[in-house]
Amino acid sequence: MNKYILLLRMHNFITNNFNVKICAICNKKKIYIPWCICKMICRYIPFAIIKNFLYIFNYHLIYITNNIYNITNTSDIHITPIILKFKIIDDNNNEFDLSSSIKYYSPSIPLKFIIKQNKINKCNTIILNYLNNSKIISKEIKINNIDILIYQLFTNNI
C-alpha cells in the first residue's frame, strides 16, 4: 500500500471520528440542540459510537465536518441544483437572504434546522431562484410544514 494512501485513510478516520462537531439531535418531530457541556464531552467519544447508539433509538445527528452540515443515517442521495437565490420571509415580512450560506448544508438537512440556526421565528414563504437544465427557474413557495428536507423544495410535490 502506498504511504500516501495510508496517510489519507488515517486523516479520514481521524476527521470522521474525532473532528466532528455535533450541532443537533433530531427525530421526525423535533430538533434538540445539545448543551455546551454535552458537545464538549462528545468531542472525545468516537463519532461512530455516538451515531450508532442514537440510531438504536431512531435519532439522527446533524453535524459539521469540513464546514458542511450533514445528517446521519440517510440512505438517499439527493443533488440539489445550483441555487442562485434563497430567501426566507417570515410573518412580519422580514426577509432573510440565505443565498450564500445554503451551500454549506447537505440536501437531506431539514428546513426546520436552517430556520432554527438563523434564528427565524416563523417561516411563511421561501423565494428560490436556481439553475435547472441551463434555465433559471424562479419559485415562490408558501410553507405550511417546516419539517420538509431541503431537496424537497425543488420537487413539485411539496
So what's the pLDDT on residue 148? 85
Residue that terminates a domain, selected from 15, 38, 71: 71
- pLDDT tens for residues 110-122? 888 988 888 888 8
> 130 and 105 in one domain?
yes
> 53 and 89 in one domain?
no
pLDDT of 156 higher than 70: no
Distance CA 35, CA 28 (A): 20
Q: How far is CA 111 from the centre of its chain?
A: 8
Tell me what the mean pLDDT of segment 74-95 comes to: 83
Domain hosting residue 128, numbered range: 82-154
pLDDT of 19 higher than 80: no
The predicted model scores a pTM of: 0.78
